[in-house]
């Protein structure tokens, strides 16, 4: 039998408005917490900055660029290779490397690969799909995080984490319904 143990995942608190969440995120960052996150039912402008997420956090543009370059160069040189080396064929006296005719496919493949890299890169970096997450153990989080409430969570793996200190810190931010979330 696996021993049934309950770990503490973190402490959550909630806010009613995006402004409070932004202010709280800023204070969490200033207080030096690292393993923490904010949750909002729609993307909030300025929230990544308030949480202190730097440019390095978001590698999606880079991944998209790499995908686009791969798709475009791959498509062009594939057509070049197919028409010049693999199966050279004289079509109405046109040059084997009739590059303008290769542009439409090159363009389409650039867009296709950039888009696929962007989406799968985003999902991969977000570690999705991830069907289970400890936060879903919180009833209020499940009911309201995707509707009308703004949550913060300070995670137990944070080096500064101390249950009593974190709870009172969140109280100091005027967070409502502060609760511990168990990781089962």
Binding site for another protein (CB under 8 A): 18, 25, 37-44, 47-48, 51, 53, 57-61, 64, 68, 78-79, 82-83, 86-87, 91, 94, 98, 101-102, 104-105, 107-109, 111-112, 114-116, 118-119, 121-123, 125-126, 128-133, 135-136, 142-143, 145-148
**Identity of the residue, 126 or 168, whose beta carbon is nearer to another protein in the bound complex:** 126
Question: Least distance to another protein from the beta carbon of 113, Å?
Answer: 9
**Identity of the residue, 3 or 148, whose beta carbon is nearer to another protein in the bound complex:** 148
Question: Least distance to another protein from the beta carbon of 164, Å?
Answer: 25
Strands (E), the chain: 7-15, 36-39, 150-155, 176-183
Dist. CA 182–CA 184, nearest whole Å: 6
């Amino acid at each position: 039998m696996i021993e049934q143990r309950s770990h503490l995942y973190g402490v959550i608190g909630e806010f009613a408005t995006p402004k409070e969440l932004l202010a709280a995120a800023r204070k969490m960052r200033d207080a030096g917490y690292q393993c923490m996150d904010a949750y909002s039912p729609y993307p909030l402008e300025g929230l990544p900055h308030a949480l202190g997420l730097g440019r390095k956090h978001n590698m999606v543009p880079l991944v998209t660029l790499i995908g686009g370059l791969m798709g475009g160069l791959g498509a062009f040189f594939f057509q070049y290779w197919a028409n010049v080396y693999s199966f050279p064929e004289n079509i109405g006296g046109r040059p084997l490397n009739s590059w303008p005719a290769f542009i439409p496919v090159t363009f389409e493949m650039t867009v296709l690969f950039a888009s696929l890299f962007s989406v799968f890169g985003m999902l991969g970096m977000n570690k999705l799909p991830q069907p289970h997450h400890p936060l879903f153990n919180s009833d209020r989080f499940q009911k309201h995080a995707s509707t009308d409430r703004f949550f913060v969570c300070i995670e137990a793996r944070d080096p500064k984490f101390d249950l009593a200190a974190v709870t009172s810190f969140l109280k100091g931010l005027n967070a409502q319904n502060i609760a511990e979330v168990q990781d089962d």
